[in-house]
Amino acid sequence: MFSTSPCGVCGKQQATPSPSGRTDVLHKRLWRLWMNAVADSRLTGIYAILGHEGALERLDACLEVGIRVVQYRGKAAATLEMARALAQRCRSAGALLIVNDDLELALAAGAGGLHLGQEDAGGADLAAVRRRLGPAILGLSTHDAEQARRAAELGADYVGAGCVFPTRSKERVIEIGVEGLRRIVAASPLPVVAIGGIDANNVREVRASGAAMAAVIGAIAGAPDARAAVRALTDAWDG
């Protein structure tokens, strides 16, 4: 059930959980904790959200610049072929592919995780979703501090918080502003991914709120040069 690897501090051999045919609950929990620790190291910086059109080209631009978390939000146009291609490229680059709102697609594509909106989560058996995902990442959208606290109890690994700034990516959004984002960050025991109207001009304000990541849609999808747009975002975040 365990393989050994040297400890980076003492040099001694330590047990690292790995999956097996056994179904022991404790071992499963240890395996998920270990996988999440690996994923958590990538839950920082820019979180790119890609639509279906031009997804592979934009993904390549993101990975070349160093993005380590990408969400596929194909909506009605989403296909298993595209999801699998995105997941494979992400794995090869050491990045996570998160699929939006479609558990079956995420599982079939071998994605690194699933993101559910508040509306989708409300009608889902999240305990069953969490079991089926296994060690994969589960993200939940939130709009206030109470929803953020509840997300941890429901088995989420991170929360999305927004809409922070005005956006054209979604209709009928709840705008929380930077102050609302700060309240969610303060209340959440999980990493917070800010979303909504984020671009290179305001991403530093998002980072100053304490958010772990900034999810970006329009600033990448609407850019004539996706690579330059992603570079501007990462430079602003790091600056």
Q: Among all residues, which ones are annotated catalytic?
A: 73, 141, 170
Q: Tell me the C-alpha to C-alpha distance, in Å, between residue 231 and each of 37, 161, 165, 207, 211.
A: 27, 23, 21, 16, 19
Query: CB neighbours of 208 closer than 8 A, spacing ≥ 6?
Result: none
CA-based end-to-end distance of the chain: 43
Asked if 68 and 80 touch (Cβ cutoff 8 Å), the reply is no
Asked if 45 and 194 touch (Cβ cutoff 8 Å), the reply is no
Which residue's structure tokens are 């395996």? 31
What tokens appear for 177 in the block? Answer: 């502003």
Measure the CA–CA gap between 9 and 14, rounded to whole angstroms: 11
Nearest Cα residue to 169 out of 71, 87, 82, 86: 71
